[in-house]
Chain A
Amino acid sequence: MSNGVLFAYFVTALCFILALKGLSSPKYARYGNLIGAFGAALAVVVTLTLHGLGHRLPIIIAIVVGTLIAVPAARLVKMTEIPQMVAMFNGVGGAAAALVSLNEYVKQHAVDSGGVAAAVVFSGIVGSVSFTGSLVTFAKLQGIMTGRPIVLPAARVVTPVVALASLGLGIAGIALTSVPLVVVCAVLALLLGVLFVLPVGGADVPVVISLLNAFTGLTVAASGYVLQNTLLIVAGTLVGASGTLLTQLMAQAMGRPLTGILFGAFAGPTTAG
């Protein structure tokens, strides 16, 4: 990549830091959001004009399609339904990040660095959890399913087993440089995302959306490592770190410990829901 492109990515990273800074003060919140949007647009335009980029037309069409889906959805949604809209956008972002990593893995097949393979598995698992987890939070808030905590009969056993199986398959996939194993690992993680969010009560769901948001950030950072792209690493890590802190702050503001929100339903009757 040329120095010009790398400089544009640097400016974008700077915009994102300023955006988060702005968004945390009531006075500058709106400017913060605009600065972030500017930075993102800059990075996308610069990437699209890269010399030697293939399939330019299909990519632009795909961007137009994505925009045509997202803008009306974001503009027309009722104010009270905005949280689930955010959850949905977060979920598709997680799915996109997982797809990018897996795609790169399929392409390189035998990735020569163990670190890159580990990042692929990480983003496959965490991105998938974020995707289906966000879909479940959407369903809960939208009233498609009950907002009360759902504890499946054997959830206490099944959830850890699925988590360990997904992780194990991922590690085996790295060791054997096997694409199918990594794909199965990601598919199991889709199930894990559902199991993870089901026991959370309706009132606690926004906190979980924030946590899944941080997850997606880390997924993006891992994808950035796979692609050796500093902008993705910086942006993803910023969101991962600030999202984690924000999740704790939100839990504090509600006066409930984070562990109580995530696993409270297993401990017995819950106050939320």
Chain B
Amino acid sequence: MNNIELLTVFMLAVFVGFEVISKVSTILHTPLMSGANAIHGIILVGAILITGVASTGVELGLGLAAVVLATANMVGGFVVTDRMLEMFKGRRPGRDAGQAGMKEGAR
């Protein structure tokens, strides 16, 4: 793709990024931050692509380091976000945390 097309994609993504979260409620600030954090773990795809064409030992080493770090970002990010949202369920009125926890465990 040429630069103008990439710039167009960039511009549209900026506005979409602003729009989709503009109505977030205050209690969801931290999970949203964590979820967005997991999403940028997609750099793993870049790390795989770059490691796949590594031709020297240095490139391979740096690439594999990037793969490990990016995996930790992505996998850890989604898991920890899920845990946070699980906790939210327990906090809902009319249902105590223990019950909600048991329900989660039974699934």
A residues neighboring B (CB under 8 Å): 9, 12, 16-17, 19-21, 23-26, 29-30, 32-34, 36-37, 40, 43-44, 47-48, 50, 52-56, 58-59, 62-63, 65-67, 69-71, 73-75, 77, 79, 82-83, 85-86, 89-90, 92-93, 95-97, 99-100, 102-104, 106-107, 115, 206, 209-210, 213, 216-217, 219-221, 223-225, 227-243, 245-246, 249-250, 253
Contact = CB atoms under 8 A, between A and B. Distances in A.
Interface string B18-62: 101111111111111111111111111111111111110011101
Interface string B65-82: 111111111111111111
B3 interface: yes
A59 B52 contact: yes
26 contacts: A16-B39, A17-B20, A20-B36, A24-B24, A30-B85, A30-B89, A34-B82, A37-B78, A37-B82, A40-B74, A59-B63, A62-B51, A62-B64, A63-B71, A66-B67, A66-B68, A74-B77, A89-B77, A93-B37, A96-B69, A213-B36, A217-B36, A225-B6, A227-B46, A237-B17, A243-B17
A70 B40 contact: no
In this complex, which of A19, A20, A26, A100 has the most chain B Cβ atoms within 10 angstroms of its Cβ? A100
B1 interface: yes
Contacts of A30: 82, 85-86, 89
B76 A74 contact: yes
B106 interface: no
A241 B47 CA distance: 22
A134 B87 CA distance: 24
Contact of B24 (A56, A206, A246): A246
B51 A32 contact: no
Contacts of A97: 40, 43, 46, 70
A24 B36 CA distance: 11
Given A62-B67, A86-B80, A232 B43 contact: yes
B68 A65 contact: yes
Contacts of A33: 31, 35, 38, 78, 81-82, 85
Given A40-B38, A40-B41, A115-B3, 18 more contacts: A23-B24, A24-B28, A44-B45, A50-B52, A59-B64, A71-B79, A74-B83, A79-B83, A82-B84, A86-B33, A86-B34, A100-B47, A103-B66, A234-B13, A235-B40, A235-B42, A238-B16, A249-B29
Interface string B85-100: 1111100000000000
Contact of B17 (A23, A52, A90, A245): A245
Interface of B: 1, 3, 6, 9-10, 13-18, 20-55, 58-60, 62-89
Given A33-B78, A47-B48, A220 B20 contact: no
B9 A234 contact: yes
Nearest to B92: A26
A59 B48 contact: yes
A52 B52 CA distance: 8
B45 A232 contact: yes
Nearest to A252: B26
B55 to A, nearest CB: 8
A143 B1 CA distance: 47
